[in-house]
């Protein structure tokens, strides 16, 4: 790995923070924001110097609020309203002074000049773990003899997570990797954007899932070969694709899924059938169902309940 200038930006994604406390942090579905133009991050970092004995005597570094400005071609109106905590009804977006935006994680990819040892393009991947977006400036200008394209710029303030991962003394503000770093596993690179990354710990061990039926509900229980604690990446829970419950005819059973948000050695996804649904008789998962380390489940096909 060596020094390289940045030459591109793409793959901007966001994920809503569902919960964040001392026991862990969980996120919603990862959504792509197409049309990235520019991203700048100001960590408001400085070094303070104290003086004694007629000269500089001691120095200490300080990091303030982390401000991120993202320039896009545009942002989908539904996604933007959700990001800003605005109400949208019948196509009308309503802004009020009481709107409160939810916390979001934001990831993106920076293209670096040169190639890695295998001759592939190299990148730097980022996740900013927890921040709020502010309402962007709006406006326009008349068209003249030449076009002047207008973009949208959104600003977010990022803070540290309440969850403090093992080996850290404070919460996470940002994580990032370089794809040409030999210390970065291929699994970590391949799964980086499947779910926000907030800790250095990585567990690539096998993820297995079992299913059971009791009290009218189906419970999917996960386990890592290493015994590590984890949560299921909630954005990977897709009914009929990565996970599903079948009736006696092999048809999908209608219902809802609820995943635990606290890291555990045996986290669960509970499926509750709808009132008119047929009786569940089997369940399945595919490798598209992932844990918080980005590892896909070992497929479990047509497991009897």
207-214/255-259 β-pairing: unpaired
Do 133 and 35 touch, CB atoms closer than 8 A? no
Q: For tokens 């250095």, what's the residue?
A: 200
pLDDT of residue 142: 83
The Cβ-side half-sphere exposure at 279, using a 13 Å CA radius, reads: 7
Which token pair is 278?
A: 């047929």
Residues of the chain with pLDDT under 50: none
Beta-carbon count within 10 A of 247 CB: 16
Do 238 and 258 touch, CB atoms closer than 8 A? no
pLDDT of residue 254: 94
CA-CA distance, 155 to 107, in Å (whole number)? 14
CA-CA distance, 294 to 106, in Å (whole number)? 16
pLDDT of residue 201: 65
CA-CA distance, 133 to 275, in Å (whole number)? 39
pLDDT of residue 255: 95
pTM of the model: 0.70
CA dihedral 174, 180, 183, 189 (to 10 degrees): 60
CA-CA distance, 146 to 152, in Å (whole number)? 20
Residue 191, judged by CB atoms within 10 A of its CB (0-12, 13-18, 19+), counts as: buried
Nearest Cα neighbor of 196 from 231, 154, 240 is 231
Read off the pLDDT of residues 75-121 as tens digits, 9 standing for 90 and up: 889 989 999 999 998 899 898 999 889 999 999 999 999 998 889 99
Which token pair is 119?
A: 């001759």
Phi and psi at residue 250, in whole multiples of 5°? 80, 15
Read off the pLDDT of residues 170-194 as tens digits, 9 standing for 90 and up: 999 999 999 998 878 777 888 889 8
pLDDT of residue 160: 95
CA-CA distance, 8 to 145, in Å (whole number)? 30
């Amino acid at each position: 790995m060596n020094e390289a200038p940045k030459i591109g930006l793409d793959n901007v994604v966001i994920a809503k923070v569902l919960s964040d406390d001392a026991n862990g942090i969980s996120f919603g579905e990862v959504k792509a924001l197409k049309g990235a133009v520019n991203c700048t991050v100001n960590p408001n970092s400085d070094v303070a110097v104290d003086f004694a004995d007629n000269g500089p005597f001691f120095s200490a570094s300080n990091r303030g609020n982390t401000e991120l400005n993202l320039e896009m071609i545009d942002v989908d109106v539904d996604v933007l309203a959700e990001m800003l905590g605005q109400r949208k009804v019948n196509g009308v977006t309503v802004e009020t002074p009481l709107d409160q935006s939810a916390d979001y994680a934001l990831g993106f990819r920076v293209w670096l000049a040169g190639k890695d040892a295998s001759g592939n393009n190299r990148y730097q991947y980022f996740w900013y773990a927890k921040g709020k977006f502010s309402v962007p400036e709006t406006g326009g200008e008349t068209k003249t003899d030449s076009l002047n394209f207008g973009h949208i710029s959104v600003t977010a303030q990022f803070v540290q997570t309440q969850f403090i991962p093992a080996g850290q003394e404070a919460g996470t503000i940002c994580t990032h990797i370089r794809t040409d770093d030999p210390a970065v596993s291929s699994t970590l690179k391949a799964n980086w954007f499947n779910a926000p990354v907030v800790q250095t710990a990585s567990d690539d061990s096998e993820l297995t899932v079992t299913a059971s039926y009791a009290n009218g509900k189906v419970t999917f229980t996960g386990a890592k070969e290493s015994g590590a604690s984890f949560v299921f990446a909630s954005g990977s829970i897709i009914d009929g694709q990565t996970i599903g419950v079948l009736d006696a005819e092999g048809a999908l059973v209608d219902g809802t899924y609820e995943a635990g948000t606290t890291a555990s050695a045996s986290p669960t996804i509970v499926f509750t059938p709808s009132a008119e649904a047929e009786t569940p008789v089997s369940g399945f998962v595919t490798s598209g169902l992932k844990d918080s380390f980005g590892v896909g489940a070992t497929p479990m096909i047509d497991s009897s309940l």
